[in-house]
Amino acid sequence: MPGMEKLTAKSSTIFIATHEETRVFRSVREVPPELRKRLEETTSGANSATILIADKRGREELVRALQGLPSEVQSRLANTLRANQKRQAAFTPKQKHRRQLRIWLEILAPVAVGFSVWLLTSMH
């Protein structure tokens, strides 16, 4: 409809669980200083992520970003996935073969050990 303004709703919910309790905050400013310090330390690490729930257009932008196409979305997840795709594409056939061999060895080694243990115990 012409003349209508776009509305964007943005909200945050921060769940912090400790051994004692789980608390919910609506913004980082609401988090007490002692918890805020721990929150900042844990969310700046390699194992942290942002979860974005988007509408249809937002989802389309995320898909574009993940595919490496121009997008308004700056996503650490998209950047990480793109970097992994580039890294895997750069593998030589020999590196790919070694990687596949390693995966099979990791799968078959426990089976071989289990079979050996079974064989040794069944002989007695």
Per-residue pLDDT of 47-60, as tens digits, reads 666 655 566 777 77
When pLDDT is averaged across residues 12-16 and rounded to a whole number, the result is 77
Residue 9: pLDDT band by 50, 70, 90 thresholds?
low
Q: Where are the beta strands (DSSP E) in the chain?
A: 14-17, 22-25
Token pair of 85 as six digits: 């795709």
3-state secondary structure of 15: strand
Q: What is the pLDDT of residue 8?
A: 62
The secondary structure of 21-38 as a DSSP string is: -EEEESSGGGS-HHHHHH
Per-residue pLDDT of 59-111, as tens digits, reads 777 677 667 777 665 556 666 766 777 777 777 788 888 888 888 888 888 88
Q: What is the pLDDT of residue 78?
A: 61
**Residue 75 and residue 72: Cα distance in Å, rounded?**
10
> pLDDT higher for 41 or 48?
41
Q: What is the pLDDT of residue 110?
A: 86
pTM of the model: 0.33
